[in-house]
Amino acid sequence: MELLALSDIAKLTGIPAPTARRYAALFKDFLSGRRLGRMTRYPEHAVVVFQRIGELYTEGRITSEIEDILRREFPRTIEVGPASEPIALPAVVHDLPDNLAEVLSDALSEALSNSITHFSDALEKLAEQKTSLDTHQTDITKLKNGFVLLARNLKRVAKREQADVSAQVDRLSERLKNIEPKLAVMEEISLTLTSDNADLKARVAAQEVELRRLREDRERLEDLLRRQGLL
């Protein structure tokens, strides 16, 4: 399967490259991107997702609405980093020290304790990020809805007498100028929190894999020690 760069996606879909990068940051869970060195590559079927996102924005949909629609139409993927290297075990029985059971038990207990601590910290950070993201997303939605209402008001104003139109347009234009910087700041915050949220999810998943691997290593080790009469 051929993997495409964002520049290739932009050419195939006709979406400007900066816009494609914005889509990739906002909806990364639906695009199956793979990190190769410093570049992120996307499978061919991601082209359809990019096109669908562009269509929904063209229809006037906001980001939260588009995410809900994509969740119904496309599967989500979360990239998880590789787990740590497994603990190497001695190849032969006579290489085992007399206090191996005690040493390995302490090491495994400490590793499990550290993993559980990191796992708990990751969950707490994820909860904090989720709360903050929800708050900012609500603010962005309100601002965008207000923008839509202002645009509708402009259309109504255009139908009034010409003498009133100029003053009304000036006032509404000033309000729009005041809203746009705030909207840009909130959008930037949302992008950052979306990326942080995805990273935390990946770390949590990696910790779960590490915990399972440590438990399996401990069970294998205890079984080996029992068979050798050390436990």
Determine the pLDDT at residue 162: 66
Do residue 149 and residue 219 come from a single domain? yes
Same domain (yes/no): 179, 201: yes
Residues 51 and 135 in one domain: no
pTM of the model: 0.36
Q: Is residue 82 part of a domain?
A: no
- Residue 83 forms part of a structural domain: no
Q: In terms of domains, do 110 and 199 share one?
A: yes
**pLDDT of res. 109:** 67
* pLDDT > 90? residue 6: yes
pLDDT digits (tens, 9 = 90+) for 143-166: 778 778 777 877 776 676 665 767
- Is the pLDDT score of 207 beyond 80? yes
Both 121 and 32 in a single domain? no
Higher per-residue pLDDT: 64 or 89: 64
Is residue 117 located within the same domain as residue 197?
Answer: yes
Q: Containing domain of residue 161, as a range?
A: 89-231
Q: How many domains does the chain have?
A: 2
Domain of 65, CATH number, reads: 1.10.1660.10
Q: What is the reported pLDDT for 86?
A: 39
Distances in Å between the Cα of 193 and the Cα atoms of 128, 182, 188 are 10, 16, 9
Task: Establish if 4 belongs to a structural domain.
Answer: yes
Considering the domain boundaries, does residue 84 fall inside one?
A: no
Provide the pLDDT confidence category of residue 89 given band limits of 50, 70 and 90. very low
Percent of the chain with pLDDT over 70: 71
What integer pLDDT is reported at residue 141 of this predicted model? Answer: 81
223 shares a domain with 130 = yes
pLDDT confidence of residue 118:
65
